[in-house]
Structure formats: structure tokens, C-alpha cells
Chains A and B, each alone.
Chain A
């Protein structure tokens, strides 16, 4: 059981961004993808989620053997068990967080079955408390007027409520101060489970002090070029991404 990305090529317009990306993350593990800006990290997250701006030209992504790209609509992929926490979560004016998450849970129930409202709020408040989100937020519109940190917490809240099998967290640390980073990381760590795989995308090693990965992958120009244990993240932090490129040149 794993999240398996095979020879993935994707482009936006006529610009190819993912150029044959391979990665396998067994269920129960936490993997990190590190890479410079522009290496294609966010594209990978959006392509998996099914963002309509990107076109997949080759390759596949298998979620426990199920091919994501055979599911045309993004909502099918999400209901299959994929969750992507976005780097820049969208604002949805007028739709409250409570109603938004409720609709997402309702969509996972069989036709005609209704979500129990009391249970739902109980569960929601529990997760909000864990993420130190004020309960007043339930009646605020999704991400509207939120600070960067509030948006990221709201993403993790959604993840906690939707209980995905595989989650991709795109730059969840960006825009967070150290306290918010700790709270968000605790929220993510609480989701670690043998029944789940977490793929953490980040630019900085800092996040990985809080969410300690089993495997670190380095992404350069649309491919995974190097993988190792958590010490690879420290090495990258110390030596910079230039070091990776030099290593690659030497090997070539």
C-alpha cells in the first residue's frame, strides 16, 4: 500500500514543469520533498489535486493502486482519500468554515444519508481546540480576511476533519511564526498513523525539525534527484541547493 508517482510529466500551457517525476511513499510513513522555488513542488501538489490549469502529458499517480488520473473530477480524487493542503488556500466569500467542512463530509456519505449535526460540531470543536483555533472561526467565511497563519491552520483543520489516506502538505510552514509553526506541526503529527501517508513539501529544513520525516527527497527541475533519511535535510540546510547540483554534475 503506497502513494506511487511514476514518470510524471505535466505542463502549464506549453511549459513543461514536471519532467518525469518518480516517488513512492509507503502508507504509514512521512516523506518530505525539498526543493528550490521553481523546481515544481507546488505544481506536483496541484497536479495531484486535479487543478484544471495543468495538463498531464505522461505518467501516473497511484493511490493504493488506484490511478488518480482515471478520476477526472478533483472531488473524486479527494473522496478516494487524497488531501492537498495548499500553499495559497482560496478564499470562499460567504461560505462559513462550518458549512464548508460539513459539505465536504456530507459528500462522503451515501446518497440520502445525513450527517449528524451534533456529532459533527462536537468533532469539529475537538479538532479546533487541538489546533488552537477560536470557535468563533466556524462562522467566518473560509479563508476570507485570514492571516497567513490562520489559513494554514484552517487547511490542517480540514485535513483533520476529512481524515485522508494520503495527504500532501504544500509549504504548510510558509508565513508561519514559530508559535504557529509548532501548533500546526502538532496538528500534523497528530495525524501520523500506520493507516496514512503524509507528503510534506517545503523549501526550508525548519519544518522538518517539527515534523520529522522518514525519507527526504530533493526535487530539481521537475524531478526527484536524490533521496535519503532526515540527515539529508540538514545537509541541504548547511550546504544549500547548489551542493545538490554539484553532486549531480559530478555523477553525470
Chain B
């Protein structure tokens, strides 16, 4: 095999500047020399390691069904800009963004906005176990989305990004880099989708940077095929009085490893980390999180909801870390597992590491079945048991979607969820 994921050399026609191609060569060497994780590594406790065998995956070919994918890249009724990428390359772009906002492919940004790119590109530490896969991502990266919102600029309507994979065993490396200037505000919805019900490999990075007073709502709608192995490495850096609300909806993927780091680097900053995970069959969602309180008087609020059916599996391992200088920290971490089947396997490992005494922290994990009383009430109204159960699962997740302020976005997400749960 000359075209497996690993053997294929970095594409000669790559649009990257030479300095970045050189960095990629280094990253590839790092990937190759890093050992494959074992369960003895704390960040891989309980992890299923079988999906780490990537030998079946090959380099993605150029997209064949370009028109179909562009047409299917429909989300909100009203947006201010849209970027559609397929197999790591740009398929479509539209924009009516305010002046000064940069919304480009990542490779264009590397050339045209080199300073910004160099300052923010993968600048956060990878602390949650996937250093090896971050290196792979960088080594194989051919494109992505770059958004820069300058200071004091508000983007009223949401921006949408669609990142597609097409082809059996194709590998994609989605990347979204968002930089919000001081007192700017923006909402971004990032969709990850499969063209067909085929196995694929996705190894993505999303980095969010908020300068002082910025406000960002970021939603990841991960809707890969159920045959996909996916890594999503997310980081958020929130400066003084800035607020980030990040929601990760894992609707798809057969094996999904998600790592989310949120660093509260400025006083009074706020980071909301939400996730909704409906899992069934033998699907598996492995999520590791770190709320790193560097600055004082910052707030982080993590709420992850899993609904597990059949033989599905979830892992949640979260840590709240309060650094010595972070007095007045408010940090919350909660994972709730709704158990729909006796064979489902939820694993929760919430954790705290507090190096300052003046803090308020809480963490916890709950497991519970669908309430018989709720189910009976539904049935007493004529709703069939199975439909009632789906409605309860829908309600379980909806109670988190209520935390999304933008009404159009919330309604849109509610619709996507209802569709995902076969209610509407």
C-alpha cells in the first residue's frame, strides 16, 4: 500500500508556506516517535485502545460530489458567512461579514496573516493525553477555517463552517481557529459531517481565543458517520471579563475521543463547557476535560450529558485545576448519565486540584435510568413506550440547550437534536 495515511508524503501541491511545511515534517517525526498510549497513562484510563490502530485509513482523495455536499451544507436560515470544506479543501465560501473580520481558509491565513497565524495556531498546551495525535494533526493538516474578529466588532448573525469527509477510510484533519479581539462578539457553528455511511478517520483541532471582554458562542455539531473514528482536540483561552460558551454535540462517530481544555487566563473570565452525547449501539465517546483557573475571580461551568443505550460506552474524566493565584474561583463540573440499557457502560471520573483556599468548586457525576413515572405519564397520554423514551431523552438534552442564549440557534439545535433522536 503506497497511499496509507502514514506512508503518503505531504502533498507536493500543498498551499502552505515553506516554513509551515518544515514544521509539519518535525510534527510527523514527533508523531512517529511518540508511543501509542496505553491504559497505564492516566489520561487513557479506561480507554478503548483498539481504535488507535489507524492502519486501515488512507489519505482522502479530492471530493467527488462537490455540488451535493455544498447543497447539503445547510444549517441556520440566516448566517453572516459560511465556509464549506470537503476532504480538507475549500468547496465553497460566502460572506457578508463586517469590515476587518477575517474569515479564510487556514492555509490562506498562514500566508496572508502570518503573524496572527503564528501567534495563535496550536499555541495551547496539549495536556489531556493526545500529544501524539496533535502532532499527527499538524503533520497532515492541509486546510481548515480561520476566523479573526477585530476588537469592538460584533458579528450579529452566526457564522457556519461545514467540514466534510468523503470516501471509504478517508482521513481528514479539520481545523478551526477562532480569535476574538477585545470586546468583540460572534457565534460560530461548526458542523462535522460524512458524505456517506462509510468508515473514516477524523483528527481535528479547534482552538478558541478570547481577548478581554470578548463574547464567543461556539457550537460543534459532530455528525460523522457511525463508522468513523474521530479525535477532537479543543482548547479555549479566555482573557479578562470575556465569556466563552462552547457546546459540543456528539451526534455521530463510532469512536470519539474528545479533549477539551479551557484556560481562564484573565480576571473575571467565564468559560461554559457543555456537551450532549446521545450514544447507542456499540458507539463510544471518550471525553477528557481540564478547567484550568490561572487568573482570579474567574468562572468555569462544565455540564456534560450522556444518554447511553444498547452497549454504548462513555468515559468522562474531568479536572478542575485552581492555580495558586486563582483566588475567588467559581468552578463547576457535572456529568449526568441517563442510562437506557443494562448493557451500557458509563464511566465518570470527576476531579479537583485546588491550590488556592478562597474558591467555590463543585463536581459530581450522576447515573440514572429513565424515570418510570415520567414514562407512565407519557403512556397515559397515548404515547408509545419507545416514543416516550425518546421524548424523555430529548428533554434531558433540551434542558441543556436552554443555556444557549441565541434563540434562532437554540431552536435550530433543538431541531437537529429532535431529528437525531427520530422525534421529528
Contact = CB atoms under 8 A, between A and B. Distances in A.
Contacts, number: 89
Contacts of B374: 90-92
Contacts of A90: 371, 373-374, 376-377
Interface string B375-397: 01111111111011001101111
Interface residues of A, number: 30
Contact of A94 (B382, B384, B396): B396
Contacts of B396: 93-94
B397 A78 contact: no
B384 to A, nearest CB: 5
Contacts of B371: 90
Contacts of A73: 379, 384-385
A226 B374 CA distance: 35
Nearest to A84: B380
B372 interface: yes
Interface stretch (A99-107, A124-132, A242-250): A99-107
A89 B376 CA distance: 11
A107 B380 CA distance: 12
Given A94-B396, A94-B398, A141-B399, A162 B382 contact: yes
B423 interface: yes
A95 B424 CA distance: 13
Contacts of B398: 94-96, 141
Given A79-B382, A107-B387, A94 B395 contact: yes
A213 interface: no
A95 B391 contact: yes
A108 B382 contact: yes
Contacts of B376: 49-52, 74, 90
B405 to A, nearest CB: 15
Interface residues of B, number: 26
A74 B374 CA distance: 12
Contacts of A52: 372, 376
B377 A75 contact: no
Contact of A92 (B379, B385, B395): B395
A74 B377 CA distance: 9
Contact of B387 (A74, A96, A103): A103
Given A90-B374, A90-B377, A141-B399, A75 B394 contact: no
B392 A107 contact: no
A97 to B, nearest CB: 11
A5 to B, nearest CB: 18
A87 to B, nearest CB: 13
B270 to A, nearest CB: 24
B306 to A, nearest CB: 15
A43 interface: no
Given A52-B376, A92-B374, A92-B392, A100 B381 contact: yes
Interface string A63-92: 000000000011100110001101001111
Given A50-B379, A95-B391, A103-B387, 11 more contacts: A74-B380, A75-B379, A78-B380, A86-B380, A89-B377, A90-B377, A93-B395, A93-B396, A94-B394, A96-B398, A141-B399
Interface of A: 49-52, 73-75, 78-79, 83-84, 86, 89-96, 99-101, 103-104, 107-108, 141, 158, 162
Interface of B: 371-374, 376-385, 387-388, 391-392, 394-399, 402, 423
